Amino acid sequence: MTNKTQGGQDLALADLLDRALSTGVVIWGEATISLAGVDLVYVGLKVLVASVDSAQRMKDASLVDRPTDGGQ
Protein backbone atom coordinates (compact mmCIF):
# COMPACT_ATOMS: atom_id res chain seq x y z
CA MET A 1 0.00 0.00 0.00
CA THR A 2 1.42 3.33 -0.96
CA ASN A 3 0.23 5.16 2.04
CA LYS A 4 2.26 8.12 3.17
CA THR A 5 -0.13 9.80 5.51
CA GLN A 6 2.06 12.01 7.60
CA GLY A 7 0.12 11.25 10.73
CA GLY A 8 1.33 7.67 10.41
CA GLN A 9 -2.20 6.45 9.82
CA ASP A 10 -3.04 3.54 7.63
CA LEU A 11 -4.60 4.32 4.33
CA ALA A 12 -8.16 5.10 5.27
CA LEU A 13 -10.67 2.90 3.57
CA ALA A 14 -12.99 5.86 3.25
CA ASP A 15 -10.38 7.80 1.31
CA LEU A 16 -9.88 4.90 -1.04
CA LEU A 17 -13.59 4.34 -1.54
CA ASP A 18 -14.16 8.03 -2.17
CA ARG A 19 -11.67 7.81 -5.00
CA ALA A 20 -11.81 4.34 -6.49
CA LEU A 21 -15.60 4.19 -6.51
CA SER A 22 -16.67 7.71 -7.27
CA THR A 23 -13.86 9.01 -9.46
CA GLY A 24 -11.76 7.60 -12.26
CA VAL A 25 -12.64 7.34 -15.89
CA VAL A 26 -15.83 5.55 -16.81
CA ILE A 27 -15.96 3.93 -20.21
CA TRP A 28 -19.37 2.86 -21.28
CA GLY A 29 -19.98 0.37 -23.98
CA GLU A 30 -22.28 -2.32 -25.11
CA ALA A 31 -19.67 -4.89 -24.26
CA THR A 32 -19.24 -3.72 -20.69
CA ILE A 33 -21.27 -4.51 -17.67
CA SER A 34 -19.94 -1.40 -15.98
CA LEU A 35 -23.23 0.40 -16.16
CA ALA A 36 -24.90 -2.28 -14.13
CA GLY A 37 -21.71 -3.04 -12.30
CA VAL A 38 -21.30 0.40 -10.82
CA ASP A 39 -24.82 0.38 -9.48
CA LEU A 40 -24.34 -3.04 -8.03
CA VAL A 41 -21.00 -2.10 -6.60
CA TYR A 42 -22.61 0.72 -4.72
CA VAL A 43 -25.22 -1.63 -3.40
CA GLY A 44 -22.46 -4.06 -2.48
CA LEU A 45 -20.63 -1.37 -0.59
CA LYS A 46 -23.49 -0.92 1.80
CA VAL A 47 -23.04 -4.54 2.67
CA LEU A 48 -19.32 -4.00 2.95
CA VAL A 49 -19.80 -1.09 5.27
CA ALA A 50 -22.00 -3.13 7.53
CA SER A 51 -19.45 -5.81 8.12
CA VAL A 52 -15.92 -4.52 7.96
CA ASP A 53 -14.14 -3.94 11.24
CA SER A 54 -14.58 -0.25 10.88
CA ALA A 55 -18.33 -0.58 10.41
CA GLN A 56 -19.24 2.00 12.98
CA ARG A 57 -16.73 4.47 11.65
CA MET A 58 -17.96 3.94 8.17
CA LYS A 59 -21.63 4.14 8.95
CA ASP A 60 -21.74 7.85 8.37
CA ALA A 61 -19.29 7.78 5.51
CA SER A 62 -20.14 9.70 2.43
CA LEU A 63 -20.27 6.54 0.42
CA VAL A 64 -23.20 5.19 2.35
CA ASP A 65 -25.12 8.37 1.99
CA ARG A 66 -24.29 8.87 -1.62
CA PRO A 67 -27.24 7.96 -3.82
CA THR A 68 -26.67 5.33 -6.40
CA ASP A 69 -25.35 6.96 -9.54
CA GLY A 70 -27.88 5.74 -11.96
CA GLY A 71 -26.38 7.72 -14.76
CA GLN A 72 -22.75 7.01 -14.03
Partner 1 sequence: MSSATSIVYVYGVLANCSDLVLDFPPGDLAGLVESGPLRILPFGDIGALVCDFILPDGSDLEAILEDSLSAERMILNHHLVLADMVSRYTILPLRFGAVFAEDAGVIAALDGRYSALKKALGRIDGAIEWGVKSFCNRKMLSECVTETVSEISVLESKIADQGEGKAFFLRRRVQRLIIDEVEKTIEQCLIGAQDQLKPCVLEETLVKIQPPTVHGHKHEMVSNRSYLIARGAEDAFMQSLDDLRMVYAPFGFDYQINGPWPAYSFSDQQLGGGVND
Q: For residues 50 and 62, what is the distance between their CA atoms, to the nearest angstrom?
A: 14
CA proximity to 61, closest of 29, 26, 17: 17
Is residue 70 a contact point for partner 1 (CB under 8 A)?
no
**Least distance CB 60 / partner 1 (angstroms):** 4
Q: For residues 59 and 18, what is the distance between their CA atoms, to the nearest angstrom?
A: 14
Site string for partner 1, 16-55 (x = CB under 8 A): xxxxxxxxxxxxxxxxxxx-xxx-xx-xxx-xxxxxx---
| Amino acid identity at 30 | E
Which residues in this chain contact partner 1 in the complex, by CB under 8 A? Answer: 1-7, 9, 11-34, 36-38, 40-41, 43-45, 47-52, 56-62, 72
